[in-house]
Structure 1
Amino acid sequence: MHISIRLFAGLAEAIGSQALRFEVDEHSITAGRLKELLSSSYPEAAGQISVSMVAVDREYAPEDTAITEASEVALIPPVSGGEPSPTEGASPENGLYILTEEPLQAEQILDKVLDKNHGASLVFVGTTREMTGEERTEVLFYEAYAPMALAKLEEIGREVRERWQGSCAISHRIGSVAVKEASVIIAVSAPHRDACYEASRFAIEELKRMVPIWKKDIDLAGGTWKGADAKFSGLWPNPNC
Structure 2
Amino acid sequence: MSTTIPLLLFAGLADRIGTSSLAFNVPGLPLTAGELKSLLSEAYPHAKSQIATAFVAVNQEYALSDQLIQIGDEVALIPPVSGGDGTEGDAPDSKSSTDGNCLITSDKLSVEEAVAKVHDANHGATLSFIGTTREMTGEMRTVTLEYEAYIPMALKEMQQICADILSQWPGTQCAISHRIGTVGIGETSVVIAVSSPHRASCYDASRYAIEQLKRSVPIWKKEIWDDGSEWKGPQTGPWDPMIRQ
Alignment TM class, shorter chain as reference: over 0.9
Cα separation, partners in 2 of 1:124 and 1:229, compared to 1, 3 Å: closer
> Is 1:196 aligned to 2:198, yes or no?
no
1:135-150 matched pairs, under 5 angstroms: 135-150=140-155
1:172-191 matched pairs, under 5 angstroms: 172-191=178-197
* Aligned residue identity for 2:96: E
- The C-alpha deviation readout for 1:7-44, integer Å capped at 9, x for no partner, is 00010011110001111112211000100100111111
TM-score by length of 2: 0.92
> Is 1:170 aligned to 2:172, yes or no?
no
- The C-alpha deviation readout for 1:44-94, integer Å capped at 9, x for no partner, is 111101100000011100000101221110000000012246432111x2x
5+ residue gaps, structure 2: none
* Aligned residue identity for 1:199: A
Check conservation: 2:212, 2:244, Cα contact below 8 A: no
Check conservation: 1:152, 1:210, Cα contact below 8 A: yes
Alignment: residue pair count: 236
Corresponding residue for residue 5 of structure 1: 7
Check conservation: 2:56, 2:78, Cα contact below 8 A: yes
Check conservation: 2:54, 2:77, Cα contact below 8 A: yes
1:148-167 matched pairs, under 5 angstroms: 148-164=153-169, 165-167=171-173
Corresponding residue for residue 40 of structure 1: 42
Check conservation: 2:133, 2:185, Cα contact below 8 A: yes
Give the root-mean-square deviation of aligned CA atoms: 1.6
Measure, in 2, the Cα distance between the counterparts of 1:206 and 1:15.
28
Kindly, what percent of the aligned residue pairs are identical?
51
Check conservation: 1:62, 1:239, Cα contact below 8 A: no
> Is 1:205 aligned to 2:211, yes or no?
yes
Corresponding residue for residue 116 of structure 1: 121
Check conservation: 1:89, 1:98, Cα contact below 8 A: yes
Higher mean Cα deviation, 60-69 or 81-90? 81-90
Residue 148 of structure 1 aligns to a residue whose secondary structure is helix
Measure, in 1, the Cα distance between the counterparts of 2:236 and 2:8.
19
Which of 6, 15, 18 aligns to 1:16? It is: 18
Superposed displacement of residue 163, structure 1: 1.5
- The C-alpha deviation readout for 1:191-211, integer Å capped at 9, x for no partner, is 000000000000000000000
Check conservation: 1:169, 1:188, Cα contact below 8 A: yes
Corresponding residue for residue 67 of structure 1: 69
Superposed displacement of residue 136, structure 1: 0.6
Residue 199 of structure 1 aligns to a residue whose secondary structure is helix
TM-score by length of 1: 0.94
* Aligned residue identity for 1:106: V
Measure, in 2, the Cα distance between the counterparts of 1:40 and 1:101.
37
Check conservation: 1:9, 1:225, Cα contact below 8 A: yes
